[in-house]
Amino acid sequence: MKTLKIAIQKSGRLNEKSVQLLKNCGLNFENYKSSLISQVSNFPLEILFLRDDDIPEYVQDGIADIGLVGENVIAETEVDVAYLQRLGFGKCDLKIAIPNNSTIQTLQDFEGKAIATSYPNILGKYLAQNNITADIKMISGSVEISPGLGLSDAIFDIVSTGGTLRSNGLKPFCDVMASEAILIGRKGEENNHLIVELIQRIQSVLRAKETKYVVLNVEKTNLDKVLQMLPGVKSPSVLPLSETGWVAVHSVIQERDFWDKINELKSLGAQGIVVMPIEKIIL
């Protein structure tokens, strides 16, 4: 393979973050809204801009080598592809929701009921696993209005904040699937050197995103305690300050325990704490 082809969403919720991820990997390309294909100038990669629904099949059939798409779409199209990397964005849940005044109380109550969805395959599997036979009504958009119109007793759809459900008089009944954006590839191609290099670049960007670079000043008497809190990639750097008895510590911390650690560091007398984003971490 001389040039790798990656399929990403042309426009929609995944487009911007997909483009940003590839740019953060150091890839240079033009991102014209009108073009369907873009050539990366500094890596043998071609980007195909497609509807997200088409991406899993394009990858399975080899029209694209890899693709970036929501797990929900992969599951719904029931393709046989390799999961190469979870990407941590485009997170959402697929839920069954019912009208606020519904009499449905248990999953068994869905027997014989009508459920509207754009995800008939995922829903069908879930119901079958639970031995329930319901009438799945395939609707391609605005599923949430269907109970109000008397078309169904419930819906099965993507829910992120729940605001759309609420404004349509619906409430979540149960979670069926959690989804995020995933990099997929054709089975058997996982070891292609271009794919391996791209995954390494993506992983270094993802690692960096979870991590912050911290610089702070502390009195030597508290240095040991501070070092224990900031393990760093290998270990923190300690530099003397011109003021005697003081040192500067450079290290990295995980974004998720950022505020806990900052408060603890302050209580150890750390001063001039600067926290900076990291672009890439290459291990």
Instruction: State the binding partner of 13 from ligand ATP, Zn ion, none, CB within 5 to 8 A by kind.
Output: ligand ATP
Partner in contact with 170, chosen from ligand ATP, Zn ion, none, beta carbon below 5 to 8 Å by kind: none
| Per CB under 6 A, 53 contacts ligand ATP | yes
Q: Which of these segments, 44-52, 64-72, 94-102, 153-161, binds Zn ion (CB under 5 A)?
A: 44-52
78: three-class secondary structure by DSSP: coil
Tell whether residue 52 is a contact of Zn ion (CB under 5 A): yes
State the number of CA atoms in the 13 A half-sphere of 137 facing the CB.
Answer: 19
Applying CB under 6 A, among 14, 81, 97, 143 the residue interacting with ligand ATP is: 14
Structure letter (DSSP) for residue 243: S
Which residue in the set 10, 24, 26, 53 belongs to the binding site for Zn ion (CB under 5 A)?
53
Binds ligand ATP (CB under 6 A): choice among 9, 117, 168, 204: 9
CB 251 within 8 A of CB 232: yes
Q: Which residue's structure tokens are 């119109």?
A: 149
Residues of span 63-82 touching ligand ATP by CB under 6 A: 70, 72-73
Cα gap 138→118, rounded to integer Å: 6
* 38 or 179: CB nearest ligand ATP: 179
Examine residue 179 and tell whether it contacts ligand ATP (CB under 6 A): yes
Reduced to 3 states (helix: H, G, I; strand: E, B; else coil), residue 229 is helix
Cα–Cα separations (whole angstroms), residue 167 to 93, 115, 143, 187:
18, 19, 13, 42
What is the C-alpha separation between 15 and 108, in angstroms, rounded?
Answer: 39
Give the one entry of ligand ATP, Zn ion, none that residue 113 binds, where binding means its C-beta sits below a cut-off of 5 to 8 angstroms depending on kind.
none
Cβ count within 10 A of residue 269: 14
Q: Which residues bind Zn ion (CB under 5 A)?
A: 52-53
Q: Which residues bind ligand ATP (CB under 6 A)?
A: 9, 12-14, 51-53, 70, 72-73, 90, 92, 158, 160, 179
